[in-house]
Structure 1
Amino acid sequence: MSKIFTTLGILLCSLLFLAGCSTENTTSKKDNNTLTYASTDYTTINPILNTHDELPDIIFSGLMTYDATGNPIPELAESYTYDADNLSYTFKLRPNIKWHDGKDFSAEDVKFTLDVLTKDKTLSASITDNYKDISEVNIIDNNTITIKLKQPNVAILDYLTIGILPKHLLEGKDLMTDSFNQHPIGTGRYKFESWTPGQNIIVSKNENYYKHVPKIDKIIFKIVPDENARALQVKSGELDLAWLNAQNTKKFRNDDNFSVYDFTTADYRAIAPNFNSPFWQKHSELMSVLGYALDKQAIIDATLGGQGEIAYSPIQLNSIYNNPNINHYDYNPELFAQKMKALGWQKGSDGIYEKNGERLSFSVDVRENEEERIDIANVASQQFKNAGVEMKVNIVQKLDWNTLEAFLIGQAAPFDPDNGTYVLFVNNASGNYTHYNNPQADKYLIQAREELDINKRKLAYANFQKEWADNPAYIMIAYLKGNYVATPALKGLSTERILGHHAVGVMWNIEDWYLER
């Protein structure tokens, strides 16, 4: 009910806006050089604790960054060398870089950040296993640092894109609770200005940025978590740029008053069980059967307006490492019925499968503000019901991995395939929330992380994908397009980059954007 009132309130406000009640605000906005961007809500802007949103990437800088093709290149580093015999990288840092508070940036900050990621036992972050191969970080001088590894890690340069933290502000602090997380100081393209909880976060361009200073003066990250509300506010002109789901984007296509950008993303949707829950502890064998009951193309057509492709692998979008020769679990209701019979399941009087007096019934949780995921879950639920499986859809405000049975998950591996597989699927890894446990998959992922020979690495990932398909961690459904709708006044966006989860990464070239008001 509260959701209905919220939507009505937004609609009323939008109508009033169109009637002229906000003319003054609109005029002032269009007269300045400020971009209003639709944002999800935040709890932290610390790049170590938040790897799924735009703000950390434009406020902070890493030793490395990604170029347009998704390859790591020097950023805070001016250059680097690799000593294969000693498994060590030596980075020469750019001179004369300043933190947003005016303090000097140095190698001390790099060491501090990497020590936090590798030694701080109080740190609770999903990415820590990406850094566990670092054995030593040694400062040569203020502008030179060496990072030594325990064993080869082919993806380590990707992980050094993580935002570097200021030692002078955080040394001796509890990184999990410090107010820095809501008042960040970085070295990046934009500086934090203010945060009005539940309303907006404002940043301004860093005039002392060590590379190309951005053209847009300010960005207002307006917090609009509801997908339908975003579409209304784009239409009314309250938002200059928003990531919209496929159904809402459709309303703006072929409308000269708006620009629509369709990014390729590595963002997929899947049903992710909690393998620690009693149902999946007892029935994990169903994971290699249930996929046959889903008509994934029909789900894409019904919920994404065709803006997506059928998913079968977590690294499917990687042109180098994808293995297409694995089981895709294509829709096959006859095969599904055969396999269910072989497992001892029979349909009961209500059409739902039963075994030893137990109905085949489980639940999937979906967050209330993600309309597209709710739609996907509901269509999948109906398809399952038609096949004899009861999947109940729980719409929740927050996720609790201790109690949920499954989640309509979204993940992505847009860059090196290690970054989107290792921490999610290796047993007890820092991002393995589903408690997936597959020793063979672990073996191949470890091989792939450590293998320098690209052909051997391809083989390791090919083997991982086959093992993962034979014993799935998820029921894969679809890869999504990244649909952004903008005012035509906004120029400079580039769709060259493959975006990540929630189409994050759109601001990868934000310094080149400008507004023609």
Structure 2
Amino acid sequence: MIRRVPAVLVACALALAACSTSPTTSGAAASADRTFVVATAGEPDTLNPVLNYGVDGASLIFDGLVARDAGNALVPGLAAALPTVSPDGKTVTATLRDGIAFHDGSPLTSADVVFTYQAILDPKVDSVIRSDLEMLASVTAPDPKTVVFTLKYAYAPFLQRLALGIVPAAALQGTDVNQADFNRKPIGTGPYKVESWTPGDKLVLAANDTYFGGKPANAKVVVAFVADDNVRAQRMRAGEFDAAELAPKLAAGFDSVGGYQVHRVDSADYRGVMLPMGNPVTGDLAVRKALNAAVDRTAMIGGVLGGAGEPAYGPVPPTSEFAEPAAAGRPAADAVAATAALDAGGWAAGGDGIRAKGGQRAAFTLMYPATDSLRKELALAVTADAKKVGIEIKPEGLTWDAIDTRISQDALLMGFGTPYDPDFTSYKLFSSQFAGQGYFNPGHYKSPVVDKALQDGRDLADPAARKAAYSSFQKQLATDLPWLFLAYLKHTYVVKDAVNGVQPRVEAHEHDVANSIWWNINTWKRK
């Protein structure tokens, strides 16, 4: 998981990385001119793909057997061609490209691919993506260039799972993968090598001049971790960064500023309120129905998001082939429906205007990460809408460490979403088998209908059957309302005019170090 963590202000160091400060040293000036500095809110917990770094590709440090192009279509990565699938869908075969080496010069072989996938399946390794590969029966290497995956059942989106970065077996064999130095000083095959990582500060990447996909167009990339949205915007305005991820309103402030371009990038990234089933208020379906009717998504998108988004009613984006239109709701608030739901559920209006039932006031806390200005504004908007129908919400900005201890009982403004297969996030978020496992289904939502639908979405190979399964899943979520879905975001970035090569593509929720507008930064140049 990528956390929004506190960032140390390192303006001087980053300025030195971004521009030349020594007019007498032409070599230093040339190097700085070929360095790009980008700023993001989130910092990864690890740089090891086995432990969940860059699992969907675009890591800048590693490559998978497959990759994604500007349209998110699968293309060959380390594999010479897209892997082949047997007629029964249970055998997938990949052939490696010739002559690929890791950053330390050691050759890539099929044994490295086998090791990577087997490490994820190893119960001694604390890999949160193990369940992503539950369909994998075995992975073998009949020769140095060939990898054969044998599946327990025909898992339709398996090729998409092969975007996972491959690690060198020699660097991790015989070590405790969970604590290995490799997790912070990794060796990959990607366009950049890790030069240094200062936690809470920055990640410095140096070009891999022998990259099989072509030598990067620049010498170095510095990824600055700046958790606070306002600080990140101030430093962007001060010229410290070539590009920065900003909240919509902060990004809009650059629309009229010369020298910058504002990019509003389509995404499958949604924001919503996770409503714990064990909370005496949010655990009541009548309250959840009332909240779903009371929130004014149209106003949120026009106000909080500055138009950079669209209403959300579930975890499958409307652009997905699996989207179920019948699960969509109304974007505007419906106070009449909200009031009716509370009345029917036995929540009577109190003297202070707040509803109550059996001595329990319709009041609960809504947590959000304190440094995330967008989630704060969304939390305040939900709070205001809820109060209009007699539900009292106390918004509370906290650190992630503080949130960790309360997510089973208190509501949380969360974000998830993927433009890829719906199995990739929904299975963990809504299947009862993940109830209470950290940020996977933290509200302990349980539904036999949803469990079956999500499992069918994994187990069935027929596209029509999978579509029917995800339709059932979305309809049941719209009935149970374990989340109050609010909006799908357009990710907003500010990029200096001098940058050439920006190529936005539809983004997932996690879009920080690499899976963002700078996913192709190895091709960026200065105009």
Written as runs of structure 1 = structure 2, the 5 A alignment for 1:218-233 is 218-233=220-235
Which whole-Å CA distance do the structure 2 matches of 1:255 and 1:488 have between them? 11
Equivalent residues of 1:50, 1:56 under 8 A apart: no
Identify if the C-alpha distance between structure 1 residues 456 and 491 changes in structure 2 by more than 3 Å, giving closer, same or farther: same
Of 465, 471, 483, the residue aligned with 2:480 is 471
- Give, as a single letter, the amino acid of the residue that structure 1 aligns with 2:469: A
Q: Specify the alignment match of 2:284 in structure 1.
A: 283
Q: Which residue of 2 aligns with 1:83?
A: 86
SS at match of 1:501: coil
Q: 1:94 to 1:383 in 2, by over 3 A?
A: same
- Supply the distance in 1 between the matched residues of 2:463 and 2:525 (Cα, whole angstroms): 40
The CA distance in 1 between the partners of 2:418 and 2:374, in whole Å, is: 20
Equivalent position of 1:206 in the other structure: 208
* Corresponding residue number in structure 2 for 1:515: 526
Per the alignment, residue 3 of structure 1 pairs with none
Q: 1:491 aligns with which of 480, 485, 500?
A: 500
1:102 aligns with 2:105: yes
Q: Give the length in aligned residue pairs.
A: 500
User: 1:507 Cα deviation (Å)?
Assistant: 2.9
Structure 1 residue 164 corresponds to structure 2 residue 163: no
Contact 2:275 2:282 (8 Å CA) reproduced: no
From the superposition, tell whether residues 23 and 213 of structure 1 become closer, same or farther in structure 2 (CA, over 3 Å).
Answer: closer
Counterpart Cα distance in 2 of 1:355 and 1:283: 10
Structure 2 Cα separation of the partners of residues 194 and 269 of structure 1 = 33
Partners of 2:170 and 2:387 lie apart in 1 by 58
Structure 1 residues 302 and 86: alpha-carbon distance in aligned structure 2, compared to 1, 3 A threshold: closer
Q: Which residue of structure 1 lines up, in the alignment, with residue 295 of structure 2?
A: 294
How far the C-alpha of 1:111 sits from its partner, in A, is: 0.9
Which shows bigger deviation, 65-74 or 138-147? Answer: 65-74
- In the TM superposition, residue 126 of structure 1 has moved relative to its aligned partner by 3.3
Task: Work out whether 1:445 is the aligned partner of 2:454.
Answer: yes
The answer to whether the 8 Å contact 1:413/1:500 transfers is yes
- Aligned match of 1:435: 444
1:409 positional shift = 0.3
Among 144, 149, 152, the alignment partner of 1:150 is 152
1:13-32 equivalences in 2 (<5 Å): 24=21, 28=29, 32=33
Deviation at residue 24 of structure 1 after TM alignment:
2.6
| 1:500 corresponds to 2:508 | yes
Alpha-carbon separation, structure 2, partners of 1:271 and 1:428 = 21
| Counterpart-to-counterpart distance in 2, 1:282 and 1:237 | 48
Q: Show CA shifts across 1:141-171 (max 9, x none).
A: 0110100000111121111111112211111
Quote how far apart the aligned CAs of 1:455 are. 2.4
In 2, Cα distance between equivalents of 1:10 and 1:146: 47
- 1:167-226 C-alpha deviation (Å, 9 max, x unpaired): 111112222222211111111111100122322210011111111222011001122111
In structure 1, list runs of 5 or more residues that go unmatched. Answer: 1-5
CA displacement, residues 124-150 of structure 1 (integer Å, 9 cap, x when unaligned): 343221100000111110110100000
Verify the 8 A CA contact 1:60 1:187 in the aligned structure 2.
yes
**Deviation (angstroms), 1:55:** 10
Pick from 342, 349, 352 the counterpart of residue 350 of structure 1. Answer: 352
What do you get for the CA RMSD once the two structures are aligned? 2.6
Deviation at 1:261, TM superposition (A): 1.6
Q: CA deviation at 1:349?
A: 1.3
Q: Aligned partner of 2:415: which letter?
A: G
Question: How far apart, CA to CA, are the structure 1 residues paired with 2:326 and 2:52?
Answer: 35
SS in 1 for 2:156: coil
CA drift of 1:285 comes to 5.1
Q: Provide the residue aligned with 1:64 in structure 2.
A: 66
Question: 1:431-478 deviations in whole A, cap 9, x for unaligned?
Answer: 333332111112112222233322232222222111111112310001
Q: Give the aligned residue type for 2:302.
A: D
Q: Distance in 2 between matches of 1:77 and 1:64?
A: 6
| 1:387 counterpart SS class | coil
Question: Matched residues in 2 for 1:319 and 1:197: separation?
Answer: 36
Secondary structure (helix, strand or coil) at the match of 1:443 reads helix
Residue 54 of structure 1: how far off its partner (Å): 10
Q: Would you say the 8 A contact 1:292–1:332 is kept in 2?
A: yes
Q: Partners of 2:38 and 2:297 in 1: how far apart?
A: 32
The CA distance in 2 between the partners of 1:266 and 1:78, in whole Å, is 30
Alignment of 1:10-49 (within 5 A): 24=21, 28=29, 32-39=33-40, 40-49=42-51
Change in Cα spacing, 1:448 to 1:391, as seen in structure 2 (3 Å) is same
Q: How far off is 1:257 after superposition?
A: 1.0
User: How many Å separate the matches in 2 of 1:231 and 1:161?
Assistant: 32
Aligned equivalent of 1:304: 305
CA shift in 2, pair 1:25/1:471, >3 Å: farther
* 2:325 equivalent in structure 1: 324
Which of these residues, 394, 406, 411, is aligned with residue 392 of structure 1?
394
What secondary structure, in the 3-state scheme, does the structure 2 residue paired with 1:469 have? helix
1: distance between equivalents of 2:89 and 2:469?
Answer: 24
Q: Distance in 1 between matches of 2:488 and 2:252?
A: 18
Call closer, same or farther: CA 1:32–1:55 in 2, change over 3 Å. farther
Q: TM-score, normalised by structure 2?
A: 0.89
Q: Which residue matches 2:425?
A: 420
> Is 2:354 the counterpart of 1:335?
no
Supply the AA of the counterpart residue of 2:433: N
Which has the larger displacement, 239-248 or 171-180? Answer: 171-180
Alpha-carbon distance, 1:236 to partner? 0.9
SS of corresponding position for 2:178: coil
Q: CA deviation at 1:512?
A: 2.3
Q: Do the aligned residues in 2 keep the contact of 1:273 with 1:280 (CA within 8 Å)?
A: no
How far off is 1:255 after superposition?
2.8
Q: Is the 8 A contact 2:274 2:484 kept in 1?
A: yes
Query: How far is the alpha carbon of 1:284 from its aligned partner?
Result: 4.8
1:215 alignment partner in structure 2: 217
1:397-454 Cα shifts (integer Å, max 9, x gaps): 1154442312100111211222121122122247333332111112112222233322
Give the match for residue 253 of structure 1. Answer: 255
Structure 2 counterparts to residues 131-142 of structure 1, below 5 A: 131-142=133-144
**Contact kept in structure 2, 1:65 and 1:73, CA below 8 Å:** yes
Report the CA distance between 1:386 and its aligned residue.
Answer: 2.0
Alignment of 1:379 with 2:381, yes or no, is yes
| Equivalent in the alignment of 2:3 | none
Partner Cα distance (1:272, 1:304) in 2 = 20
For 1:186, what is the secondary structure of its paired residue? Answer: coil
Residue 302 of structure 1 deviates from its aligned partner by 2.2
Q: Work out whether residues 348 and 354 of structure 1, in 8 Å CA contact, stay in contact via their aligned partners in 2.
A: yes
Residue identity over aligned pairs, in percent, reads 30
Deviation at 1:287, TM superposition (A): 2.6
Distance 1:458 1:85, change over 3 A: closer
Whether contact under 8 Å (1:327, 1:470) holds in the other structure is no
Q: Residues 434, 78 of structure 1: CA spacing in aligned structure 2 closer, same or farther, 3 A cutoff?
A: farther
Runs (5+) with no aligned partner, structure 2: 1-5
